[in-house]
Structure 1
């Protein structure tokens, strides 16, 4: 959920920022907005703070006359969707904090929108027609029904006088925030009664229910057998490897690859007896002997594993690969590369680890065709 500042684009004509149009909102799109069309040229506009089917007044926030598309906020709702609610957070809305995309949407509809995005990305980028359900995740007490207070780690912008703020959407501007309603208690780093060592600034899932549900899903999908060899890529501190080592009966059968040196040190302590290799995943795989493995876990960053890593995986002929994805577009692109090499998507689960935002976590099972 870390937001990167937008890069300035070269203007292509007169700016349309601030221009207002009335429009009927079309389908949801990847990225926390919906698609609308305005003007005689039927210009595509990506609109935040709207819902499909609504009639709104939108105000352009980015765009010039020569751009293929514009960005905008819905600043007035003329005909509201039945799924629209009043945002619980006073900082959610046009021109305010950019952290939450869907505070104006009832929670079940948020999950339905995310499912539509995952399904569309798999269809468009991987040519697959897959039924998708985004599942709620336990572990948000006392707010597990309203999508609040789930985030165990939150970043703020420090302001003078001990105050703090959050950045606006695609902007360096800061909105002062007294209380972030999705922020919750710190994480415990305990999964199914096992404690994990993690750096204070190191990666750990921010939803308290995420580690357990992801482990149970990956382990269940792979159905590891005693004596099988496991390759855990982008392994972090060894969350998946620790449980898979128990399934195969010998940590010596498990190899972890991770780019963060401190995470590798924790992985060695969390999964004693396993082989932990530090470095860029693609570079490490290219340097390793091309020996077969039985099972692979991939949990790449938001940009995905990409071709070199996927091809290094399939070259080792695993009987199954579990792919944990925080970006449905990256997942779909990598699934398409797996398909080029004879691996098909045989199972998919999606989880609402980031309520009130457009983000969604998926776990995909890939197996050789004919399995």
Structure 2
């Protein structure tokens, strides 16, 4: 079924709201204010529509930067419009999921604005791809299992695009069905990781870790493990967290979801002591190598650990996965004796829930900064500092 409508405000998930005869439709591929024709999927209670024709385009619409495959959901609009979109999504999440948080932020004089970080293209230092039946590096079409062979990806760093463009030289390195990670570390040359094998050139294996540098620090990170994707993400997040939390030489810090030690290393050089908790065994091995002065434990992070692990801490830092802390986890941190809590969130809805829970249980938001570390996608990184 095809219908025509005017796209409304953006909401979480990469959609704009559309309304027809009183029914709400989530529209994929439209910019607010555009008149579009959509193909409607009415198989679920909440209808969704995909744009098939733009009848009245927005002045913010541009040629898509990457519509060959997935990975750039907002690539059809100007960067300035993307920032406005993401800001509106955060505001919407706070309005609908944040309880009293909206009023709290207004009383504190805090405005939300997603900040641009570097150029929108060529900043991605990691790209996970599949190998198709012909042995070509490929990505999935958005929302599909179909693989599309690629020889470039404009969001990726130049060194990654060099590998994509010259993949014939890597013949035999990977095979159909493999999952391949292309990496352009900030502290060394590019590598290709396939499971536990890492190659610095066709046929030339190298160590399992890569070197990353930011803000005068260096980290060794397992190639197959997690590290921030945007080339400027480490320095951006370090600046927001360390300055926001105002860590002093005499402070004791508790850090949760510490990964390979992005925050752990500099904090161990600045604070009296730091305890870091992380669930991944591989990340813990990296973190112990990167931050030998820190006390680092591998543990499943849950509300009980958040409560006990933060005992005696002056500052708490948490960088959970997209699911966030959860209500019980946020309650545990709110009840801690920490003078400052730094929460790094990659999901607006989870952030709104977690921060509002802490605010409603006695905490105050000192700052809330959002960064566009995933240009041309629907994702945003948010750093909230609470006292």
Whether TM-score is above 0.5 comes out as: yes
Q: Distance in 1 between matches of 2:383 and 2:306?
A: 25
TM-score (norm 1): 0.84
Instruction: Please report how far the alpha carbon of residue 232 of structure 1 lies from its aligned counterpart in structure 2 after TM superposition.
Output: 0.7
Would the alpha carbon gap of residues 90 and 357 (structure 1) be closer, same or farther in structure 2, given more than 3 Å must change? closer
Q: Distance in 1 between matches of 2:24 and 2:310?
A: 47
1:83 partnered with 2:64: no
Aligned with 1:330: secondary structure?
Answer: helix
Instruction: Please report how far the alpha carbon of residue 286 of structure 1 lies from its aligned counterpart in structure 2 after TM superposition.
Output: 6.4
Aligned with 1:59: secondary structure?
Answer: strand
Would the alpha carbon gap of residues 104 and 287 (structure 1) be closer, same or farther in structure 2, given more than 3 Å must change? closer
Query: Which position in structure 1 is the counterpart of 2:220?
Result: 197
Pick which of 128-137 and 101-110 moved more: 128-137
Q: Distance in 2 between matches of 1:365 and 1:212?
A: 17
Q: Is the CA contact 1:228–1:294 (under 8 Å) kept in the aligned structure 2?
A: yes
Query: Which position in structure 2 is the counterpart of 1:154?
Result: 127
Q: Is the CA contact 1:257–1:284 (under 8 Å) kept in the aligned structure 2?
A: no
Query: Which position in structure 1 is the counterpart of 2:163?
Result: none
Pick which of 319-328 and 266-275 moved more: 266-275
Residue 263 (structure 2) aligned to one of 212, 222, 240: 240
Query: Which position in structure 2 is the counterpart of 1:63?
Result: 42
Instruction: Please report how far the alpha carbon of residue 290 of structure 1 lies from its aligned counterpart in structure 2 after TM superposition.
Output: 7.0
Q: Is the CA contact 2:11–2:89 (under 8 Å) kept in the aligned structure 1?
A: yes
1:168 partnered with 2:145: no
Aligned with 2:356: secondary structure?
Answer: helix
Instruction: Please report how far the alpha carbon of residue 289 of structure 1 lies from its aligned counterpart in structure 2 after TM superposition.
Output: 6.9
Aligned length: 329
Q: Is the CA contact 1:231–1:256 (under 8 Å) kept in the aligned structure 2?
A: yes
Query: Which position in structure 2 is the counterpart of 1:110?
Result: 82
1:22 partnered with 2:1: no
Q: Distance in 2 between matches of 1:162 and 1:308?
A: 47
Q: Distance in 2 between matches of 1:203 and 1:256?
A: 16
How big is each residue's C-alpha offset from its partner over 1:242-300, in whole Å with a ceiling of 9 and x where there is no partner? 2122222x3xx100000001111111111112111101111771694773211011100
1:48 partnered with 2:21: no
1:33 partnered with 2:31: no
How big is each residue's C-alpha offset from its partner over 1:311-336, in whole Å with a ceiling of 9 and x where there is no partner? 33233211110111110100011012
Aligned with 2:220: secondary structure?
Answer: coil
How big is each residue's C-alpha offset from its partner over 1:11-68, in whole Å with a ceiling of 9 and x where there is no partner? xxxxxxxx11111111111111111123x3x3222111110010010012x432xx33
Root mean square deviation, CA, Å: 1.8
Instruction: Please report how far the alpha carbon of residue 165 of structure 1 lies from its aligned counterpart in structure 2 after TM superposition.
Output: 2.4
1:276 partnered with 2:289: no
Q: Distance in 1 between matches of 2:306 and 2:269?
A: 27
Instruction: Please report how far the alpha carbon of residue 124 of structure 1 lies from its aligned counterpart in structure 2 after TM superposition.
Output: 1.7
